[in-house]
Chains A and B, each alone.
Chain A
Amino acid sequence: MPIKLHHVFHVYSQKTPFQFEALHDVSVVIEEHSFTAIIGHTGSGKSTLIQHLNALLLPTSGSLEVNEIVIQANQLPKAVKKIRQYAGVVFQFPEAQLFEEHVIEDVMFGPLNFGKTKIEAKQAAQLALQQVGLDESFYDRSPFELSGGERRRVAIAGILAMQPKVLILDEPTAGLDPVGAAMMMSLFTQLHQQGMTIIIVTHDMELVLKFASHVKVMEHGKVIKQSTPKDLFYGKDASKDFIKPPLVQLIKALRKKGKTISSTQERSLTDLVQGWKVS
């Protein structure tokens, strides 16, 4: 089932001097099995939007539909646990949420909360840790003695162990070294290929270009554009007040010079070079 938002508004600290409208009349559909990127400036409402998707925040007015459960304005749905298990949110710097003595226990925490038995939780945790590339030697180590990148992988495993159908990621590659970031992204592509819906908030346009199937552009609490990376960077939705990734600029310049570049080469530098090698 796609996730549908109908005229969602969200106002923080209503009726105080700190009142701030973070979402203004947002109506979007996030398709099932899509790899949706949400982009926009800092403070444009991206994080507020994704927190609605698992009912951490409730709309001030409007409604949304997640996994056929309707979330009405200001009403915590009874099936809130179902929503939270269906749509797993990985926050920015998720390594801050680790608290258990051992890695394996921390990853088991989520499944146990959703009513799994210890054995089921352990199996889910082992699978999740394997998916993020941490082997058995990590199970009994303390999360606090790991490196930053490893800690983040443990935290993401903690969400994956809940076996969500939708994975929501807020800047998952922020602060990671290039190798770590690339590994992270290849994990998400893999999960996407296995049928998971991926929603990613990012400032990295290269990532959007390379991985996303859909893009939602936000500004001042509104979704101002819904497009695909191709249309957004090369085609009809491209706009001037938008810094394009260097690759897009390069390809445009090359095309101007008369070089023919096929549309399969447009999404990453590797694709571009690969395309030439073949021809």
Chain B
Amino acid sequence: MPAMTLGRYMPYDSLMHRLDPRIKLFAMVTIMVSIFLRFGSVWTDLALYGLMFVFIFILMRITKIKLSQLYRQLKPLWFMLLFLLFINLLLPNTQDISTYFDAWGVKIYYAALLQTFYIVFRLVLMIALTLIITASTRPLDLTYAIEWYLIPWKIIRFPSHEVAMTMSIALRFIPTLLEETYRIMKAQASRGVDFVHGKLKEKLRAIVSLIVPLFISAFQRSEELANAMEARGYDPSATRTRYRELTWHRRDFFALLMVLVYLGGFIYLLTTGFTLPL
């Protein structure tokens, strides 16, 4: 099994782990929105991105995630990033075509380069954020938090509990299905399947030999789970108490305060149209 997969809970004991999941979710959404903001000038954007990177890096350190772990997450994305760069350079989506340099007869716009850099940087920051929240929060706690945010929607008859239950089951079964995937991959590798090498046709066959059994086992599992839940009298519309109550601590209050300051700061910068004097 790979040493670490995106979305895997890492059982450390850190301040980030102890924070209330509702706060963490709120903070994640806030920071993610801020990542996509653009300001008046290039230098302001770059400065704020630098600031955000430092901020997220500090959060990563608090969560006890190493930079090397983030790097490992990005590895499968290299191809996509290169592709992005390629497309952006050839089909620049930019108005600023005043500055460019010539590379073997192809006009390379600085604005297009910058655009690519923005996309890559945003992607890296987003992945870092997701890594932080999933590594520090048990999937179940995360769904509790989502359910909590869905409570107000009950007024318009939104099935918030059912949605949360569906989500928590889906999250719960990610590791199980992964395990199943590795199991079937091994079984087929024993039958001479090579998932890495071989011609396209062989690879397709290899993938079919993995997907079909995986689907069958997933359907079987869901049926078994549904039966087990019904056998224990599960009623989605019943009001129920909770085994783990989320409680509010002082650290959660401070975290909330920090997020609000962060949010307020960005709103201020946006409304005043702030740009660095450069």
Contact = CB atoms under 8 A, between A and B. Distances in A.
Interface of A: 12-18, 51, 54, 56, 81, 84-85, 88-89, 91, 94, 96-99, 109-110, 113-114, 144, 158-159, 162
B12 interface: yes
Contacts of B186: 51, 56, 91
B192 interface: yes
Nearest to A15: B3
Given A12-B1, A91-B183, A98 B190 contact: no
Closest 7 CB pairs between A and B?
A113-B192, A99-B212, A97-B187, A110-B191, A89-B190, A114-B192, A16-B3
23 contacts: A14-B3, A16-B10, A17-B12, A18-B3, A51-B186, A81-B192, A84-B189, A84-B190, A85-B192, A88-B190, A89-B187, A91-B190, A96-B184, A97-B184, A97-B187, A97-B213, A99-B213, A109-B209, A113-B193, A113-B194, A114-B192, A144-B216, A162-B192
Nearest to B209: A99
Contacts of A81: 192, 194
A19 to B, nearest CB: 9
B11 interface: yes
Interface string B190-220: 1111100000000000001100110011000
B188 interface: yes
Chain B: interface residue count, which band? Answer: 20 to 34
B4 interface: yes
Nearest to A13: B3
Contacts of B213: 96-99
A204 to B, nearest CB: 22
Contacts of A109: 191, 209
A97 B187 CA distance: 6
A162 B183 contact: no
Given A16-B10, A110-B192, A113-B194, 8 more contacts: A17-B12, A81-B192, A84-B190, A89-B190, A96-B216, A96-B217, A97-B191, A113-B193
Contacts of B1: 12-13
Contacts, number: 65
A251 B110 CA distance: 88
A91 B208 CA distance: 19
Interface of B: 1, 3-4, 10-12, 180, 183-184, 186-194, 208-209, 212-213, 216-217
A158 B212 contact: no
B178 to A, nearest CB: 13
Given A16-B3, A17-B11, A99-B212, A113 B191 contact: yes
Contacts of A99: 208-209, 212-213
Which of B3, B12, B190, B192 is the most central at the interface, judged by chain A CB atoms within 10 Å of its CB? B190
A16 B191 CA distance: 31
Contacts of B10: 16-17
Nearest to B4: A16
Contacts of B208: 99
Contacts of A94: 187
A96 B183 contact: yes
A15 B189 CA distance: 26
A91 B179 CA distance: 14
A109 B210 CA distance: 13
Contacts of A56: 186, 189-190
Contacts of B192: 81, 84-85, 110, 113-114, 162
A91 B189 CA distance: 11
Q: Which of A56, A96, A144, A158 has the most CB of B within 10 A?
A: A96
Contacts of A114: 192
Contacts of B4: 16
B155 to A, nearest CB: 42
Contacts of B193: 113
